[in-house]
Amino acid sequence: MKVLVLHGPNLNLLGQRQPELYGTKTLDQINEEIELLGSQLGLDVDFFQSNQEGMLIDRIHQARGVYQWLVFNPAAFTHYSYALRDALQAADIPTIEVHLSNIQAREEFRSRSVLAPVCVGQVSGFGITSYLLALYAIFERGRLGEA
Ligand code: DQA
């Protein structure tokens, strides 16, 4: 099973950016944790980060026919990018939306995701574990024959 993990804008600064909210691990360290669990679960995981909406859209288009699942932290695009929502719908690859912080417990504008309605589900608020829970969900759905 091939899984593409997408990280949106400003996540390249993890480790330095608001560590009280997002933790002290860098994006590379987070990706290592995801990769490790992926290999234990038999998932073949690739990664892509961009600060640009169009780059993320292009990567989602290219994922068609290659990846069976997307794990996506769209960062601030979560809250307003109808272009990314359309890209996910067009690509038609099951997607899990992930957030390090609990987006329901922060500013009002963060409580709304325009992408969640086209995702299989959302994991929010568990730090790096949010990504790991998404991998477990993919693994379990495969094991249960649900995807
Ligand atoms: C985030 C939450 C978003 O609201 C924010 O814009 C981010 C990170 C998270 O992982 O908690 O950049 O997606």
The CATH number of whichever domain residue 76 belongs to comes to: 3.40.50.9100
Q: Do the strands 95-99 and 44-49 form a parallel or antiparallel pair, or are they unpaired?
A: unpaired
Q: Is the shortest distance between the CB of 105 and ligand 1 below 6 Å?
A: no
| Residue 85, H or E segment | helix 82-91
Q: pLDDT by residue (tens digit) across 24-35?
A: 999 999 999 999
- What SS3 class is residue 121? strand
Among 7, 67, 99, 131, the one annotated catalytic: 99
22 is catalytic: yes
Measured between alpha carbons, how far is 140 from 52 in angstroms, rounded to an integer? 32
Q: How many domains does the chain have?
A: 1
67 is catalytic: no
Give the list of residues 6+ apart from residue 40 with CB closer than 8 angstroms, or none: none
Task: For residue 33, give its domain range.
Answer: 2-143
Measured between alpha carbons, how far is 40 from 124 in angstroms, rounded to an integer? 23
Q: pLDDT by residue (tens digit) across 5-30?
A: 999 999 999 999 999 999 999 999 99
Kindly state the tokens that stand for 11. 């996540």
Position 147 pLDDT exceeds 90: no
Q: What mean pLDDT is predicted for residues 35-58?
A: 98
Q: Is the shortest distance between the CB of 115 and ligand 1 below 6 Å?
A: no
